[in-house]
């Protein structure tokens, strides 16, 4: 049975962890990725790395980004940049069409 997590919350978690990378150890992963089996798989596949420490006599497990998560974040950022470039291209095409129309109209008015 496949465990599901909310994609938006997971993306926000990963980007939040990325902001503090490599020094940031996040202990709230359990709130986003509730299933232990999903967390285990992410650690096995090197998307997350586990870090355990002892505070006040109790074992605390934190997570940080693994080496396979960095290319994934890079592709998310590239996707965002590609969307911005597409929008700018559409704006430039529209402005070019308007400029050509204005040039043609001014040519025929002479």
Residue range 28-55, pLDDT digits in tens: 676 666 677 878 888 888 888 887 776 6
The reply to whether 73 falls in a domain is: no
Q: What is the per-residue pLDDT across 75-92, written as a single tens digit (0 to 9) for each?
A: 888 988 999 999 999 999
Q: Give the pLDDT of residue 3.
A: 52
Going by C-alpha positions, the residue among 31, 28, 12 that lies closest to residue 63 is: 28
At 90 the pLDDT is 98
Residue 59 burial class via C-beta count within 10 angstroms: exposed 0-12, middle 13-18, buried 19 and up: exposed
Domain count within the chain: 2
One-character DSSP codes across 5-66: --HHHHHHHHHHHHHTTTT--BS-HHHH---HHHHHHHHHTTSEEEEEEEETTEEEEEEEE-
Structural domain span for residue 91? 80-110
% residues pLDDT > 90 (the chain): 24
Rounded distance, CA 65 to CA 14, Å?
A: 8
Cβ density class 27-42: b for 16+ within 10 Å, e for less: eebeebbeeeebbeeb
* Same domain (yes/no): 13, 49: yes
Q: Specify the pTM.
A: 0.58
* 71 in a structural domain: no
């Amino acid at each position: 049975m496949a465990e599901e997590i909310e994609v938006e919350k997971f993306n926000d978690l990963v980007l939040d962890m990325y902001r503090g990378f490599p020094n940031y150890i996040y202990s709230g992963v359990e709130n986003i990725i509730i299933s232990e089996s999903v967390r285990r798989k992410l650690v096995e596949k090197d998307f997350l790395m586990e870090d355990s420490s002892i505070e006040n006599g109790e074992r605390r497990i934190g997570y940080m980004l693994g080496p396979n998560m960095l290319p994934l974040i890079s592709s998310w950022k590239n996707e965002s940049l590609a969307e911005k470039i597409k929008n700018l291209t559409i704006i430039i095409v529209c402005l070019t069409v308007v400029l050509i129309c204005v040039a043609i109209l001014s040519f025929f008015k002479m």
